[in-house]
Structure 1
Amino acid sequence: MARLSNPFAFTPRPVIFWVTATYIAIFAVLLTVHLNVPDYPHKTPAGTNLTEAWSDLQHITRRYHPYNSHANDDVRKYLLSRMQEIVESKNLGSDRVEIIDDNISNATFSAGNTTVYFEGTNIIVVIRGSHDKEPFYTTHDTPLGTSRAPGNGGVLVNAHYDSVSTGYGATDDGVGVVSVLQLLSYFTEPENWPHRTVVLLLNNGEEDFLNGAKAFMRHPISQLPHTFLNLEGAGAGGRATLFRSTDTEVTSFYKTVKHPFGTVVSGDGFKQGFIRSQTDYVVFNGELGLRGLDVAFMEPRARYHTLEDSTRESSLNSLWHMLSASIATTSGMASDTSDRFSGSSDEREDGKVNTGTGTEAVWFDIFGKVFILFRLHTMFALCVTLLVVTPIAVIGLTVILSKSDKNYLFTRKKYIHSSDDDEPVRLNGWRGFFRFPITFVAATAIVVGLAYLLQRVNPYIVYSSPYAVWSMMLSAWLFFAWFLLRGASAMRPSALQRHYTLLWLFIGSFVLLVFVTVLARNYHVASGYFSMFAFAAVFVALLISYAELFFLPKKSVYAARFGDAGGVIHDREPPSRPLSGTTNGTRSDERVPEDDDATETTSLLRNDRVSFRRNYGSRRQSVSEGADPEDHHAASDLGFVYEGEQEWSGTLPSWLWLIQFLLTVPIVVILVGQVALLLTSAIYQTPADGSSTLSIYLLFAALTAALTVPAAPFLHRFTYHIPTFLLFVCVGTAIYNLVAFPFSLEHKLKVYFLQQIDLDTGANTVSLTGLEGYVQDIIKQIPSAQGQDLNCTTPDVATRKELTKCSWAGLPAHVVPRLSPYGNNTTPKSWLEYSIQKSSNANKATIRVVGQNTRSCRLMFDTPVRSVWVDGAVSDPRFNATGQHGTRELRLWHRQWSQPWNVSVAWGSDTNSTFSGRVACLWSDANAGSIPSFDEVQHYLPVWAVSSKIADGLVEGSKRFKL
């Protein structure tokens, strides 16, 4: 009778309680950690001041401040003054801290068929480490490679202070900028002074082509650091996540962060090209050769690069989360006096700093409290070990069980005297073996079907309601899996159903681990780390199931209980039972009834068998009459048997299932759940950028199966109550997901603005690029577009090919003041002037370009040019001026306004070849009302939409040229 009140028995009530409570608890903690930011402390470390940092953030985010705006100059002046104020307040000499106002560095580099010439306006602060006694070398007369401080170099901390033309830049990258200011204050406190030199970089021009980081490479101080921390933003608040890292050794410094957050999955996403945007990390690591970390905000993406990237949408908690991570990580880097990051003392032949060789890392956090870090090689070795050892262990246990005569697995019958002529005892050991794979395929197929249904009916609902989609898929999988598993158990109960399900999980996770191991070995992908832990947990749980079988009687002993029978002896057949689990012990109609009348064929031992069955039946009846209807066990001299299951299972322990559950479910749900939430935040609003919604739903479906399948060994013990509730959840969320409008006030659809003016003809075209159907509905509400026929085409921006660009004749722009410096009235045609002088004996020409009230222009060639040179450029062997197939576009950036560029180009060898293309200048400053079309779009957008920029400029004026 102990099982009737045992809270750990493998009976419905305990199973329902422990499984349901565990899932609810884990999901609640995961969502709480993911959606909430830890509170900032009332007392911060010496040298830091959150009130001051928030005031700085508010100041620099008052206006849009892209590189090509006057507000950008104001932000730069403010940041310089704040740095000088901080240093002066500490009474420090210039030999210990140096502020570098870099108005000299420039860079010319190529990216594919595009060449960029950029003049930097970076701000650099160098805090000399206490272990670095030599003076700084920061003048441009010093050759690159000779400015390195002695010892192990230093630490670079970077943030960019420019915003996009459509956003205030609070988290992209204002929080990073004010964190750098606070780091300057922190490390100049005597008790916090770093051992190694710390270089604080505020770069300008990241948003346009990572230009500021490229310009930093031209400054000699860039040769000093060997490690780096890049601070970025791709959302509007929340937690700052560890996006990616170069290696295990440098990632170890992040372990000291009090509230770590992130997983290597995001790093692999960048590595494999699934994430199309980039940060300065690729310059510092890929081109400068440093080893370091990328820490960034990542959600909500709907506010990224829009006016909603503001202090209103951020918080002191988010600011502190990034700042505290920066302090802990940078302090660790700057305290490291080993030589593991120093490499050799000479610059490498490719121009990169030699920072040694690191090992690839696997890392993830647990509930935002614990940070797990180990080498990818360690993961590979563990995976290989598991793949080799575990099958041997399972086979060995199977052999031992067979030798012990206790292997009931896959056993149909047992002969009493080991003779085929004897009457067999039916063991029904095969029963339940095929249930899980059929259930898994069916339940997963239903979830995949829901994914296709959403894609067909309401594809963008995930944009505003990702958790409604998750609820629908999770509840659908659990309900249909329960329905099939419980139904099969009701019709033909099996004491081995849990064991067989774990065996199938072992086989499936084994195959998955093989795939993960190949990815780790051949492609250096660590994202499958959770499968290693899941496989190990399933293996141990399966070992427990094998250990359980040793509690069973020997098959020969069990069969001998029936004695020598003249006919086939069946084990007790399961009665048909309803799915509620409240059935009685009715005998199956298929069971051959006993005949009390002896005949000439009756076995001499028949009375023993009849006595056994009658005794068994009487004991069973006596227990059933007084038992709780919830406990479906029958009593025999073999112990309690769960209703309808094989009689030999009565000696199985009733509590070991809980250990198996705790081994398999929590670890998988925690690890996979964190990955699922991170991927949800990363991709659920990418359809506005043109990403496939079907791929998002299919990923959700795959993760749904991974989250719920660990519960499969225990689902057949559930009664109908919880699954029925899940069915209602599934139906309700499915209806909502199919009919609800996919965008909302909190989750606005991004559309991309651009105004293009043909300065030769005066044609003025305004366009919005966005999702087909929705962008047309948005434009209908804009007054200047009403009554016009929209011209909708595929955009010419490579990263937005999946969207639709619709244009109309918009309001004229006023990006150039009415009066020029010479006192003459300006017209659009005079905004841009150019001249071309062709060489008389070769396919070469010099082009002079000047744009009024701008510091960004472009040259676009109809056929690629083979060489490009801009007056003022400095040659650098690390940068190629043109791509392998030449250059089709040259982007020009001045640090001064309305200044000319003189460009020398050379093209094909055919002396008769023509030279033609387009000259364009950009205007990006939307603060002064000089772009009425943009202001109109901002004003008349529906409440569920928001505008962003699609190019470096909001207005593009161009003229054609031809030689």
Structure 2
Amino acid sequence: MARLSNPLAFTPLPVMMLVTITYVALFSSLLTTHLTVPNYPSHTPPGTNLTEAWTDLETITRHYHPYNSHANDDVREYLLSRVEQHIASKNLTSHQVQIIDDKVSNVTFSSGSTTVYFEGTNIIIAIRGSEDKEPFYSATPYQSARDAKNGGVLVNAHYDSVSTGYGATDDGVGVVSVLQLLSYFTEERNWPKKTVVLLLNNGEEDFLNGAKAFMRHPISQLPRTFLNLEGAGAGGRATLFRSTDTEVTNFYKAASHPFGTVVSSDGFKKHLIRSETDYVVFNGELGLRGLDVAFMEPRARYHTMEDSTKETTLNSVWHMLSASIATTAGLASDTSTTFSGSGKPRTDGKVDAGQGTDAVWFDIFGRAFVIFRLHTLFALCVTILVVAPVTLIGLTVGLSKADKNYLFARKQYVHSSDDDEPVQLNGWRGFFRFPITFCVATAITVALAYLFQRVNPYIVYSSPYAVWTSMFSAWAFSAWFLLRGASAMRPSALQRLYALIWIFIGSFALLIFATVLAQNFQVAGGYLALFYFAGVFAAIVLSYIELFFAPRKSAYVALSDEAEPTSHQTDSSSRPLTGSTNGPRSGDRSPLVDDDATETTSLLRGDRRSFRRYDGRRQSASEGTDAGERSGSTDLGHAYAGEQKWSGKLPSWLWTIQFLLIAPINIILVGQIALLTTSALYQTPADGSPTLFIYVAFAVLTTLLAVPIGPWIHRFSYHVPFFIFLVCVGTVIYNLIAFPFSREHKLKVYFLQQVDLDSGANEVSLTGLDGYVQEIIGHIPSAQGKHIECTTPQVKTRKELRKCAWEGLPAQVAPKLPSGAVAFGNKTKPESWVDYSITRNNSANEATIRVQGQNTRACRILFDTAVDNLAIDGAVSDDPRFNATGEDGTRELRLWHREWSQPWNVNVAWDGSASSSLSGKVVCLWSDANAAEIPAFNEVQHYLPVWAIATKFGDGLVEGSKGFKA
């Protein structure tokens, strides 16, 4: 009776309570951590002021301010004034802090068949380290920067926005964090030991141009480490996107609310994530070691007008700022040689910052941060892969020597003679249940993925958690239905252990795969498999140890023989095929000697009494008094209803320890990755990403989340599973019929206006999901009654979308001449927006192209055939890190000027016969949507349905082109 009152017994009520409470509590905690932001403190560190930061954020995000806009100049002037105010308020000298208003650096570089010429307008602030003795403020700016004693730390944020977004989190919060870092580190008590370089770069949104221009400044040779602040959403927590190595990531650990997992870093490393940040310039091209910290969701607001202060909070500002202070302060206080390298300049022009080690890192509920080396992960994986099977083999041998190995034991004879009738041990019962259940439940979950993708493919865009709920509930109910049904038909005390064995086998294979990835491909996300397998291994060891509490098989068989002296004469064909919960009947074999049915025996044959009410209560003394009690010999205890009698003395509470070893850590780790995956993927269909991949990823992660309930769920009564079934039905119906977009999760469509300045043709287009983009255009007045032509976009990353164009409202991008511009004709006519001239060298395939656009500082030259060489007047050409053309030449040249309406002179050369011609297009861009210069864009924004929102298709909102031939 003691076991009946045990609150931790392996009976329905304790199992349902512990499993349900654990899953609900951990899911709730994970969601709370993921979807909410910690409150900012009432008192911030000396030198920081959140009210001031918020005021700065509101000021710089009042207008769209892309590089190619007049508002961008206003933001730049404001930031310069704020930097000067910070320094002046503390009476700092140029020997302590120096401001570099870099309007000199320019860069020419190629990427594939595209060449970019960019003139930078970066703002750089250098705070000299207290232990840096060499002056970095020499007459020749920063000539000794490369030889600085301790190197330095770079903190970067870009102050330009896109043409369709106010840039509150992309990258306004990063910008105001840099300003607050300036204020923090210029407090005497916070003065850094190493030089801190604060970079406000301009031109990140167009081709990471600002960071490239920074490489051209000598001070870029000073830092050895960096922290890049970015944004790809609107509000929320700032996550650690990626890092270069263990040593630099250790400093992020000091953040009060660390957030992120190395899985995102793996995604960037393996090019699974398309977008890029300045991180690739600072690390890949400059050679620094550092971190990428960024806001990551909701992606529907990314690069839209909803990236505004209205959609972010002071909590988000503090979350990024606090992490920036902790990380930068740690890096700036490290005067060791960790990041010094050899101390000699590298021949490739990169900074010598030394070599770091690949890292594994993740947070726990945004409170703690776990970090260790990838090599350590590999060593642990190899160790446990060897130790685990050896341990289980040793335990199996120990059980056999102790005569208690009931695993896979079918029968045993009372005497050594085979003439004796055997006693059935039923050690195989329950062995195949879990793999069958796993396959069926997983197949149902994957089938749901295909069903959603087929019927309502974009429901994940607005309702990702409804998709998660339907998949998880489908897996859980399917598993309960099969495992509970099998247990009711043929109870087995080994069902839990056999489920653990199968999970052990599966996680063992998963760990081998993760080990290979870690060693051969430096993928660190396999840490999940290590913890998963370790928990299962510990749990299965407990199950093996549990068997040592069972009676010896010889004693159990002898006891069975004593209890049934006539059993040898009993007709075996008259015995029931399933274990009964009742005591022995007249003419029946003792319940101690069970039938010899196997897993393939029909569940519907034999004694129908095995289908009696299964409410989890154990047999009473009158129902199940065993032979041992009647004979006064060995006490077999009380086995669970219908299960093998030899299991009566097994500890009934060990399951709680097993569950706690497996479930919590795996729910936390898998849940964190699942939520990160959700944030990264669920709104990417608007960008052209396939939806099936998202649903299948959800199905796989659902399986990993649900598997830990497998060994215990057969003890559930119908109450909780029936509720789960109703939830599953409800969410599946919702996912199949609900409209996939809403006010809170708007569908992004891409705007572009293209004007052929030769013919006067004016085409306005929206690019988006097929079917929905046509419906959106139906709301636009200028498109009413017009011919709408829908085609596949000629952009690789948008080929899954549809581009639908019509003759829209005319643009007015050059209504007047800017001050200082060169006049040539009537600038109110579109054909005067772009002017060019070509001077060809008749003796060679060489030409000079002069390009000028009015009221813009961005133009392009598109060549029909690649040019092999090009040079822009005024460009620096002596930097070996940059090539003006790619290996196969240049088909597109992008030109960026820091001044308005100024011309470029481009010298080009191409292969071919002396008579071969040069042809293509000259295109200029206009990106300023603040005024009334682009009526078509204003019309689209005004008349879009409430479930849609506009963003940019390219660098410019308006493109004006003219053809040329020379």
Normalising by structure 1, we get a TM-score of 0.94
Match of 1:934 among 934, 937, 943: 937
Q: Deviations over 1:604-661 (max 9, x none)?
A: xx99999xxxxxxxxxxxxxxxx99642344533001100100111011000000000
Shift of 1:811: 0.4
Could you tell me how far 1:840 is from its partner in structure 2?
A: 2.0
Paired residue for 1:89?
A: 89
Residue identity opposite 1:489 in structure 2: S
The answer to whether the 8 Å contact 2:248/2:291 transfers is yes
Q: Which residue of 2 aligns with 1:856?
A: 858
Which amino acid in structure 1 is aligned with residue 131 of structure 2? H
Match of 2:927 among 910, 924, 928: 924
Cα offset, 1:566, TM superposition: 2.2
CA RMSD of aligned residues (A): 2.1
| Residue in structure 1 matching 2:490, options 464, 489, 492 | 492
Q: How has the CA–CA distance of structure 1 residues 197 and 562 changed in structure 2, closer, same or farther, with 3 Å as cutoff?
A: same
Give the whole-Å Cα distance in 1 for the aligned partners of 2:93 and 2:763: 56
Whether the 8 Å contact between 1:138 and 1:220 is mirrored in structure 2 is: no
How far did residue 389 of structure 1 move? 1.2
Secondary structure in 2 matching 1:651 = coil
Is the contact between residue 817 and residue 855 of structure 2 (CA under 8 Å) also seen in structure 1? no
Give the deviation of 1:419 after TM superposition.
2.6
Report deviation, 1:914: 2.2
* CA distance, structure 1, for counterparts of residue 32 and residue 214 of structure 2: 40
Q: State the one-letter code of the partner of 1:61.
A: T
Work out whether residues 105 and 217 of structure 2, in 8 Å CA contact, stay in contact via their aligned partners in 1: yes
Show the counterpart of 1:502. 500
1:574 & 1:362 partners in 2: Cα distance? 56
Report the equivalent of 2:898: 895
**Residue 2 of structure 1: how far off its partner (Å):** 1.2
Q: Quick check: 2:423–2:593 contact (8 Å CA) kept in 1?
A: no
Asked if structure 2 preserves the Cα contact closer than 8 Å seen for 1:474 and 1:708, the reply is yes
Written as runs of structure 1 = structure 2, the 5 A alignment for 1:898-909 is: 898-909=901-912
Residue 668 of structure 2: aligned partner: 670
Counterparts of 1:722-733 in structure 2, within 5 Å, are: 722-733=720-731
Question: What residue number does 1:479 align with?
Answer: 477
Label 1:628 to 1:927 Cα distance change in 2 as closer, same or farther (>3 A).
Answer: closer
Which residue of 2 is the match for residue 101 of structure 1? 101
- Residue in 1 that maps onto 2:23: 23
| Paired residues of 1:138 and 1:221 also in contact (CA < 8 A) | no
- Residues 441 and 230 (structure 1), Cα distance of their counterparts in 2 relative to 1, 3 Å cut: same
Aligned to 2:872, which of 846, 870, 873? Answer: 870
CA distance in 2, matches of 1:786, 1:345: 67
Any gaps of 5 or more consecutive residues in structure 1? 578-583, 596-605, 611-626
Deviation at 1:147, TM superposition (A): 2.2
1-side partners of 2:391 and 2:428: how far apart? 22
Amino acid at match of 1:374: F
Deviations 1:187-219 (A, max 9, x none): 000000000000000000000000000000000
Q: Partners of 2:149 and 2:898 in 1: how far apart?
A: 35
Deviation at 1:5, TM superposition (A): 1.7
2:166 counterpart SS class: coil
> Are positions 1:881 and 2:871 aligned together?
no
Aligned to 2:233: 235
Corresponding letter in the other structure for 1:450: L
| Alignment partner, residue 390 of structure 2 | 392
| Aligned-partner Cα distance in 1 for 2:455–2:140 | 61
Q: Residues 135-534 of structure 1 correspond to what in structure 2 (within 5 A)?
A: 135-137=135-137, 146-534=144-532
Q: Distance in 1 between matches of 2:745 and 2:592?
A: 75
* Residues 797-816 of structure 1 mapped to structure 2, 5 A cutoff: 797-816=795-814
Does the CA contact (< 8 Å) of 2:575 and 2:588 recur in 1? no
TM-score with structure 2 length normalisation? 0.94
Q: CA deviation at 1:818?
A: 4.2
Secondary structure of the residue aligned to 2:826 is coil
Counterparts of 1:161 and 1:629 in 2: how far apart (Å)? 66
**1:863 alignment partner AA:** T
Partner of residue 830, structure 2 = 828
SS of residue matched to 1:925: coil
Partner residue in 2 for 1:619: none
Q: Is the 8 A contact 1:236 1:313 kept in 2?
A: yes
Verify the 8 A CA contact 2:95 2:137 in the aligned structure 1: no
Give 1:568 shift. 7.1
Matches within 5 A, 1:618-697: 630-633=616-619, 634-636=624-626, 637-697=635-695
> Are the equivalent residues in 1 in contact too, given 2:615–2:717 (CA < 8 A)?
no
1:58-73 mapped onto 2 (5 Å cutoff): 58-73=58-73
Identity of aligned residues (%): 70
Task: Name the aligned partner's letter for residue 352 of structure 1.
Answer: K
3-state DSSP class of the match of 1:98? strand
Q: How many residues are treated as equivalent by the alignment?
A: 928
Q: Are residues 327 and 608 of structure 1, via their aligned partners in 2, closer, same or farther at CA, if it must alter by over 3 Å?
A: closer
Match of 2:954 in 1: 951
Report if the CA contact (8 A) 1:491-1:575 is conserved: no
Supply the distance in 2 between the matched residues of 1:243 and 1:83 (Cα, whole angstroms): 28
The residue aligned with 2:115 is 115
Relative to structure 1, is the Cα distance of residues 139 and 643 closer, same or farther in structure 2, using a 3 angstrom cutoff? farther
| Structure 1 residues 513 and 568, CA gap change in structure 2 (3 angstroms) | farther
Give the deviation of 1:179 after TM superposition. 0.2
Q: Who is 1:127 aligned against?
A: 127
Query: Structure 1 residues 156, 420: closer, same or farther in 2, change over 3 A?
Result: same
- Maintained 8 Å contact 2:134/2:149: no
Distance 2:739 2:593 in 1: 69
Corresponding residue to 1:566 among 555, 565, 568: 568
Indicate how the Cα distance of structure 1 residues 609 and 931 shifts in structure 2: closer, same or farther if over 3 A, else same: closer
Report the alpha carbon displacement of residue 140 of structure 1 after superposing the two structures with TM: 6.7
The amino acid that maps onto 1:770 is G
Q: What is the CA–CA distance in structure 2 between the aligned matches of 1:106 and 1:607, rounded to whole Å?
A: 89
Q: Structure 2 CA distance, aligned partners of 1:791 and 1:120?
A: 39
1:587, CA displacement in angstroms? Answer: 6.7
- CA distance change for structure 1 residues 354 and 18 in 2, over 3 Å: closer, same or farther? same
Question: Residues 574 and 588 of structure 2 are in contact (CA less than 8 Å); yes or no, is this contact kept in structure 1?
Answer: no
The CA deviation string for residues 572-620 of structure 1, in whole angstroms up to 9 with x for no partner, is 988979xxxxxx93479xx99349xxxxxxxxxx99999xxxxxxxxxx
How far did residue 562 of structure 1 move? Answer: 2.6
What SS does the corresponding residue of 1:4 show, helix, strand or coil?
Answer: coil
Counterparts of residues 678-827 of structure 1 (less than 5 Å) = 678-818=676-816, 822=823, 825-826=826-827, 827=829
